[in-house]
Structure 1
Amino acid sequence: MTTVRPAPPLRSLAERAGAPSALPSLTAGGLTWRPATRDDAGPLLDLRNTVAEADGEPYRETADELREVLGAPWLRLDTDSVLGEDAEGRLRAYGYVETMPGDTNRLRAFLWGAVHPDRRGEGIGRELFAWQEARGRQLLAESGKDVPARLAGFLEDTAPAPKVRLYERAGFTPRRFYSDLERDLRDLDAHPLPAVDVDDGLRLVPLGDEHDEPARLAHNDAFRDHWGSEPQTTEQWRSGRATYAPEWSFVVVDPEPDVPALLADPHTDAETAAALRAGEPLVVGYHVGARYTADFAVRGYPFGYTEILGVRRAYRGRKLAVALLAAAMRAFADDDMAVAALDVDTQNPTGAHGLYASLGYTKRHGSRLLTIEL
């Protein structure tokens, strides 16, 4: 008879993180380093878009988007960011580390940064990446959350080889792959959108203010079985609205949910249970649209973007995702968008990749997530 032994207890995150007592020095390239401030949005925008163009990235940022990044309440710019300026005061490199307040099951430290194309090959990127990794380890160790953790960074498929090697040499491993998909909307007579009605009793309506918090709760339920996803706090959910397109956003509401059954379901989270008891609207599916106007010129045509799409677990199998996506694509087309676009995890557990392919979406670009698991 085989005895199954329990897994050994997880060491404290402070031990696993291996955080250094001091951060490594930044000396390469003769740059002067300082923390970022919210007033740096202008020069940082120029640097980030210059890097994006040089590296063939399929997007550009706007000042409003970057101000939101720098203004995120959970981002401690004074300790978790650095900017490198040359002798003329021009910004030539940046880096910051971001942890998310809603992380519960796995704490994540995301590393963001780049070096101006004109200053590559001087060792700046190597030192900057070492600083980011070290600061990420410190943040994880300081969190007080003894749960699994990861250091993480994203790379576009077009990323230059030296940047890829930085991750590899530091021990980061490709963990997940993502596809940027598009669906042409320019000839709907030849390629019609699906005609899908939601089940009797459910209502598909525009995402109004009264649905914002219920949609967050639906998102946390829908994505709790997705790899790498963590619950979003209200603060997180309401951030990043510079590109939010309410005219392209919809929800499916159940006006008469079976409250006793949902409360008895062990998968119903505490926040949803409290909302049900309070008689709040129950959003069971949602589509959040975004308008990335700065990217139109990069792609060569205007597009509508699906920022987030999800369906509560208890309501899956009823074609709600198709109904929401069809409503969004009609809204995109009505606004003269040439294509519908979205990004998807190629190993999505709900089979979303197959769903999008069946609706005519095809891959345009790809990216990957690299991590160190702790």
Structure 2
Amino acid sequence: MGITTRVLSAEDADALAALMTRIEGDHPTGFCLGAGEIREVMGGQAVNVFEGAYDGDELVAYTTVLPGRPDEVGLHVTLFGDVDPARLGEGIGTLMLTRSLNLSRALHAALAPGVPGRFAAATLAGREDQVDLVERAGMRPGRHSFLMVAHLERRAAVELPGGYTVTTFDPEAAEELRQTHNLAFADHPVRADASTGFWATFVVGAAHARHALSAVARDADGAVAAYVLAHEYVVPPSGGHGPEVHVPYVGTLPAHRGRGLATGLLAEVLRRASVAGYVTASLNVDTANPTGALGIYERAGFRQLYRQDSHHLDVPPVGGRLSR
């Protein structure tokens, strides 16, 4: 029987979670979710698309297409996907990546035809088969990121810079923090311009959010100056047994940088996590982050576990020409 494909729904979440777990047991992916987390992503935005490849009734591969919020710069579409380790080398990955790129083009035409598009995927360092797959599809290499992990032995409180007050994440102030987040990452090479829908689904109301562990610093006027958020996923990103706290975002507004806020808030989050019984912490960092984040994390005890390399395909506005 040949391979068939179809769009996955919430009813397929358990089977997809099982496939992701099999894949993660073979190699780290940076995108291994539990069934509940899959349902959250599926329901987060109507344009999020999961597709599966089947051999009969067996799910043997998947892809995920996640469009960002379009703006005058362009539309960024993030692609995830992988194949059951027992089915590598059969051309299933090529089939699924081709379908994902075609879907990305269709979403680009529907959502933001007047601006350029960038379709991005990551490969695991050392996996030449993954690199060959994306390069044959026309995707070019870009930036690199580390998945870093730290052991959380009991940590003492760290004195934070004077003139700031520190609290946990308050959902009532979520919109203020979202706007701060977008400002904090405005000068980052990979912009993290969070829409209200993304923020509500994946930061404020997500089952994996751990607001009590997060830390937010406010200045003397009461405005947010910096923040460190905390999440906990069903499958620890480090591949360990957990419990593991994951740090998805560390942000400081430009006017407050250079004062040790990020260092102090991160230390506070790790201290709270250790007190709460977490044994490890993990985070992702761009290896060329211009804010010096890599050094901050290394001083906090984080060490590289694996590297992922970004690849992207740039496309012009629909009916237009991509400027170089």
Give the equivalent residue in structure 2 for 1:197: 160
Give the equivalent residue in structure 2 for 1:318: 259
Mapped to 2, the partners of 1:223 and 1:137 lie a distance apart of 26
Kindly indicate whether residue 8 of structure 2 is the aligned counterpart of residue 36 of structure 1.
yes
Q: Residues 338 and 34 (structure 1 numbering): CA distance in 2 closer, same or farther, change over 3 Å?
A: closer
Instruction: Find the residue that maps to 1:112 and give its secondary structure.
Output: strand
- How many residues in Structure 1 have an aligned counterpart in Structure 2? 312
Mark the structure with the bigger radius of gyration. Answer: 1
The two structures, once aligned, show a CA RMSD in angstroms of 2.3
Mapped to 2, the partners of 1:296 and 1:306 lie a distance apart of 11
**Which aligned pairs between 1:156-195 and structure 2 lie closer than 5 A?**
156-157=124-125, 159=127, 161-186=128-153, 188=155, 195=158
Kindly indicate whether residue 301 of structure 2 is the aligned counterpart of residue 363 of structure 1.
no
Mapped to 2, the partners of 1:102 and 1:315 lie a distance apart of 29
Mapped to 2, the partners of 1:353 and 1:68 lie a distance apart of 30
Contact 1:102/1:233 (8 A) holds in 2: no
Kindly indicate whether residue 169 of structure 2 is the aligned counterpart of residue 207 of structure 1.
yes
Q: Normalising by the residue count of structure 1, what TM-score does the alignment of the two structures yield? A: 0.76
Instruction: Find the residue that maps to 1:243 and give its secondary structure.
Output: coil
Contact 2:16/2:35 (8 A) holds in 1: no
Q: Residues 255 and 234 (structure 1 numbering): CA distance in 2 closer, same or farther, change over 3 Å?
A: farther
| 1:60 CA displacement | 4.0
Kindly indicate whether residue 286 of structure 2 is the aligned counterpart of residue 345 of structure 1.
yes
Contact 2:75/2:112 (8 A) holds in 1: no
Structure 2 counterpart of 1:105, one-letter code: V
| 1:67 CA displacement | 0.9
Q: Residues 128 and 182 (structure 1 numbering): CA distance in 2 closer, same or farther, change over 3 Å?
A: closer
Query: More displaced, 178-187 or 347-356?
Result: 178-187
Question: 1:4-60 CA distances to partner (integer Å, 9 max, x unpaired)?
Answer: xxxxxxxxxxxxxxxxxxxxxxxxx70222222222111111112212212344774
Give the equivalent residue in structure 2 for 1:147: 115
Mapped to 2, the partners of 1:231 and 1:59 lie a distance apart of 20
Contact 1:105/1:230 (8 A) holds in 2: no
Instruction: Find the residue that maps to 1:176 and give its secondary structure.
Output: strand
Mapped to 2, the partners of 1:296 and 1:137 lie a distance apart of 30
Mapped to 2, the partners of 1:145 and 1:32 lie a distance apart of 30
Question: 1:277-307 CA distances to partner (integer Å, 9 max, x unpaired)?
Answer: xxxx622211110123432893244332211
Give the equivalent residue in structure 2 for 1:228: 190
Q: Normalising by the residue count of structure 2, what TM-score does the alignment of the two structures yield? A: 0.87
Q: Residues 103 and 243 (structure 1 numbering): CA distance in 2 closer, same or farther, change over 3 Å?
A: farther
Mapped to 2, the partners of 1:120 and 1:360 lie a distance apart of 36
Instruction: Find the residue that maps to 1:125 and give its secondary structure.
Output: helix
**Which aligned pairs between 1:40-51 and structure 2 lie closer than 5 A?**
40-51=12-23
Question: 1:338-372 CA distances to partner (integer Å, 9 max, x unpaired)?
Answer: 23321111111111112222333221222121112
Question: 1:143-182 CA distances to partner (integer Å, 9 max, x unpaired)?
Answer: 33533431110223364x3222111212222211111222
Question: 1:204-252 CA distances to partner (integer Å, 9 max, x unpaired)?
Answer: 1111122211111110000011112142111111222121111211111
Identity %: 29
